[in-house]
Amino acid sequence: MSDRIFHTAFFLLVALLSILNTRSIAVAQDSLQSPVPLSELPDSVWSVDSIMIVGNAHTKDFVVLREMTLRPGVSITKALLEYDQNRIYSLRLFNRVQLHVVPASTPGLAHLVVEVSERWYLFPFPVFGIKDRDWSKVYYGVGILHYNFRGRNEKLYAAIVLGYDPSFSLSYRNPFLSRDGTDFLDASVGYSKVRNKSLVAQSGMENFDEKHISAGLTLGKRFGIEHAVSVRAAYEYVEIDDPLPGRTISPSGIDRLPTVTVSYSYDTRNLGEYPSNGTLAYAGVTKYGLPSKDIDFVRYAIDLREFVPLSSSLTLAGRTFADFVAAGPTPSYNHIYFGYGERIRGHFREVWEGEERIGATTELRYTLLAPHYFNVGKLPPEFSVWRFGVVAALFADAGTVWFRGEPLAINRFIKGYGAGLHFLLPYSLVLRAEYALNEIRRGEFIIDVGSTL
């Protein structure tokens, strides 16, 4: 019997003696058997009799159970075990998640043991970085993040940033406003002094700063584990230090923007940080301002992503996204871009500005090294389990931005393509090293963090 089996059996016995009040259904001692290795697990032979979670010293059981499709009475398959394992890992609360199937004494039933290794959840941290991937725009500061407040996957965040675009922000997220996890809440307040990004608003003159003060509250509801709807009410105060026509809607240089956003999302992705299967669909409508002669415009946003496994090592991933504006005039600080948050590889360091945007990206991903786990000695348990994988990718990006009244044509699209290596690192970090070409085959190397879709 392997060390893993002994380890799991030990957790089962301890749980039986010390966690009798858990919401998960306890496994009877006379039914303890060795877990069935996943490689030998036949599909649909057993149904779930009970679920036990071990290793979660801080995280509440219901946080884990909320993400699972396997529940008492559901037939156990390898596909569902892998899917649930990835969904739980996507909470970003654990370094490792393992699901074990333990046959029960009753024929046709099995106990499901979810074994987790928790991450550290409280991070006082220094803030240092560059804005817009430009080393002349350095910022620095200090912040604190509680990633699992009260063990309920609640997020508390506060930061003070100096240097380029100084700011202060405070936010709170509660995904369990109701105990069953159907209702959630987001709240935030912030202040920032932002250097204007709009080349149109600058118009060849000396650049200017924008002061933003904002507060917002989001209430939402999840339906199952795939569907979610939300409504966000917010208020933003924007002041320009050098008011000129177009920089704000109000001629005074001060805009006051009450906003309401209604959104819907559908998410079946197996892994949030770097999916290999599933769909993400998002649609949102944001109304800026009350109907008036000044601020009165609407933004519509859609984002569709699909991940299709072609084999155990090969995934075809695609994304299409768009952002449209309607009704009244749009101030310069509400313009959208390629070259800041969204980028076209091949034109990675170029800035394109408009009021509306459409884009698409496709990646063919081949797993060179499937994620492996390593135990690093002499570190606290929350930091001792490291996950590492390597994926090779071919990619193609395209997109365009435009102002209202301008034609939308294929020959206006910015395009690029290339290849790279994606490194899947501990604590859900993705590091990308890529080489991209544009339409005239001018190349550029790119080092970036996070998945592109």
15-44 pLDDT, tens digit each: 333 333 333 333 433 345 677 777 677 877
Instruction: Indicate whether 64 pLDDT > 80.
Output: yes
Distance from C-alpha of 430 to C-alpha of 123, rounded to nearest angstrom: 20
Distance from C-alpha of 317 to C-alpha of 306, rounded to nearest angstrom: 6
- The domain locations on the chain are 3-117, 175-449
Average pLDDT value for residue range 425-441:
93
Look at the alpha carbons of 67, 72, 74, 76 in this order and tell me if their dihedral is positive or negative.
positive
Contact 336, 357 (CB under 8 A): yes
Closest Cα partner for 88 from 122, 63, 60?
Answer: 63
Beta carbons within 8 Å of 263's beta carbon, 6+ residues apart: 229, 230, 232, 282, 283, 284, 285
Beta carbons within 8 Å of 446's beta carbon, 6+ residues apart: 345, 348, 420, 432, 433, 434, 435, 436
Lowest-confidence range among 78-82, 290-294, 368-372? Answer: 290-294
Contact 248, 330 (CB under 8 A): no
Beta carbons within 8 Å of 94's beta carbon, 6+ residues apart: 59, 88, 116, 117, 118, 119
Assigned CATH topology for domain 175-449? Porin (2.40.160)
Give residue 33's pLDDT: 65
What does CATH list as the number for 3-117? 3.10.20.310
Q: What confidence tens digit (pLDDT) does each residue in 295-345 have?
A: 889 999 999 999 999 999 999 999 999 999 998 888 888 999 998 889 999
Lowest-confidence range among 51-60, 74-83, 127-136, 345-354? Answer: 127-136
Average pLDDT value for residue range 385-392:
92
Instruction: Indicate whether 133 pLDDT > 70.
Output: no
Give residue 341's pLDDT: 83
Average pLDDT value for residue range 436-453:
93
Query: Could you tell me which residue, 375 or 174, shows the higher pLDDT?
Result: 174
- Count CA atoms within 13 Å of residue 21 on its CB side: 1
Give residue 204's pLDDT: 66
Query: Could you tell me which residue, 250 or 216, shows the higher pLDDT?
Result: 216
Instruction: Indicate whether 262 pLDDT > 80.
Output: yes
Count the Cβ atoms, other than its own, within 10 Å of residue 128. Answer: 12
Beta carbons within 8 Å of 155's beta carbon, 6+ residues apart: 145, 146, 147, 149, 171, 172, 173
What three-state secondary structure class fits 78? helix
Return the percentage of the chain with pLDDT > 90, whole number.
57
Per-residue confidence at 426, pLDDT binned at 50, 70, 90? confident
